[in-house]
Amino acid sequence: MTTIYDIAKKANVSPMTVSRVINNKGNISEKTREKVEAVIKELNYIPNSAAQSLNLKKTKLLSLIITDITNPFFTKVARGAADKANQMGYQLILCNTDEDYEKESDYINALISKRVDGVIIAPTGDPSIKNLKKLIKNRIPFTLIDREIEEISCDRVLGDNYEGTKLLLQHLIDYGHKRIAMVHGPLTVSTSKERYQAYIETLKINDLNMDASFLVETHYKQEKQWNGIDHLVTLPLADRPTAIFAANNFIAIKIIKSLREKKIKVPEEIAVVCFDDLELFSDFDPFLTVSSQPAYDFGYTGTQLVIERVEEVGPADYRTINLKPELVVRKSSGTPIN
């Protein structure tokens, strides 16, 4: 491996001068700069960033921690984060936690050891607060994206789960639905909890009955899901929900598949709506009615905010960016009933 010394020797200058040329620091005569640059090219020299990191205490490494790269929502988040990181000269370490707190903890330790400059994280759930505190203790700035963890000092890029839920439910209610079930994820995840609470609230505001059996808990990730709605569809028609609100896109897919297996037509017999789009699919066949969130921006803006912290530009106060959801009405919510 060629080092700064090899360059220095061959260019008849001191290693320091080479360092200066590489980093464009201090004043250097045109002559020596050219001479050094020539040698650098000749020897294909590329600085060793481990050495740089060691005394600069900067690694130019960022990490994106997400719970399911397989979900198109997070895929777009990753895309946004990668774009911004790249654009600013950082490399991005991808951590996929599979909604698993233990994996998240392992990653956090590894990242601290790697001395990443910053972290963009969608935590696995409320217990993640321990991991975040660990980051704080190690002075690694982070921004929380998509999922809220309360009472933590950091930047945030969050969606509006209340708004998104209300948009979806109001749409169903406007269409005449009175019996709306919800299938949500674990309530230890803020997005799940907020959508859940917004569901209850919206029903109340609209004077609709709340039936405990209409609330079903499952998981966000496909591998962990169960459909959980068998008891609903075996109900007599008059008691059966006429619409189902799925807390995320994967849950919606699972539900629609189950309904189809049971020969129940969507949306004719039961309407289905959900949070987060499946653009790839919707593009192809506009079917799912969704509250669409600007996934790319979660990643892009989240990364921008950490970088501002890392580079110590930007305001002293922590910021919370709210990204608005958008109601996209398609076939799965059917047409007005009665």
Partner DNA sequence: CTGTTAGCGCATTCAC
Partner DNA sequence: GTGAATGCGCTAACAG
Radius of gyration of the CA atoms of the chain, in A = 26
Q: Say if residues 161 and 195 touch (Cβ distance below 8 Å).
A: yes
* Residue 281 binding: pick among its own copies, DNA, none (C-beta 5-8 Å cut-off by kind): its own copies
* Residue 291 binding: pick among DNA, its own copies, none (C-beta 5-8 Å cut-off by kind): none
Select from 24, 44, 55, 234 the one that contacts DNA (CB under 7 A).
55
Q: Map residues 85-104 to x or -, x wherever contact with its own copies holds by CB under 8 A.
A: -x----xxxxxx------x-
Select from 49, 197, 206, 258 the one that contacts its own copies (CB under 8 A).
49
Backbone angles phi, psi at 57, to 5 degrees: 60, 35
* Residue 138 binding: pick among its own copies, DNA, none (C-beta 5-8 Å cut-off by kind): its own copies
> What would the 3-class secondary structure string for 206-261 be?
CCCCCCHHHEEECCCCHHHCCCCCHHHHCCCCCCCCCEEEECCHHHHHHHHHHHHH
Is residue 59 a contact point for DNA (CB under 7 A)? no
Q: Say if residues 304 and 80 touch (Cβ distance below 8 Å).
A: no
Burial of 91 (0-12, 13-18, 19+ CB in 10 A): middle
Q: Map residues 221-260 to x or -, x wherever contact with its own copies holds by CB under 8 A.
A: --------------------------------x--xx---
* Residue 91 binding: pick among its own copies, DNA, none (C-beta 5-8 Å cut-off by kind): its own copies
CA distance 200 to 197: 5
Select from 13, 82, 119, 203 the one that contacts its own copies (CB under 8 A).
82
Is residue 41 a contact point for its own copies (CB under 8 A)? no
Is residue 133 a contact point for its own copies (CB under 8 A)? no
Is residue 283 a contact point for its own copies (CB under 8 A)? yes
Select from 28, 88, 129, 329 the one that contacts DNA (CB under 7 A).
28
Select from 4, 8, 13, 78 the one that contacts its own copies (CB under 8 A).
78
CA distance 171 to 325: 14
Please, which residue, 25 or 137, has the CB nearer to DNA? 25
* Residue 16 binding: pick among its own copies, DNA, none (C-beta 5-8 Å cut-off by kind): DNA
Is residue 180 a contact point for its own copies (CB under 8 A)? no
Is residue 13 a contact point for DNA (CB under 7 A)? yes
Bridge partners for 274 per DSSP: 246, 290
Please report how close the Cβ of residue 91 comes to its own copies at its closest, in angstroms.
Answer: 5
Select from 121, 157, 229, 278 the one that contacts its own copies (CB under 8 A).
278
User: Applying CB under 7 A, which residues contact DNA?
Assistant: 1, 3-5, 12-17, 19-20, 22-23, 25-29, 31-33, 47-48, 51-52, 54-56
Contact residues for its own copies, defined by CB under 8 A: 1, 44, 46-51, 53-54, 57, 59, 61, 64, 69-70, 72, 75-76, 78-79, 82-83, 86, 91-96, 103, 106-107, 109-115, 134, 137-139, 253, 256-257, 278, 280-281, 283-285, 287
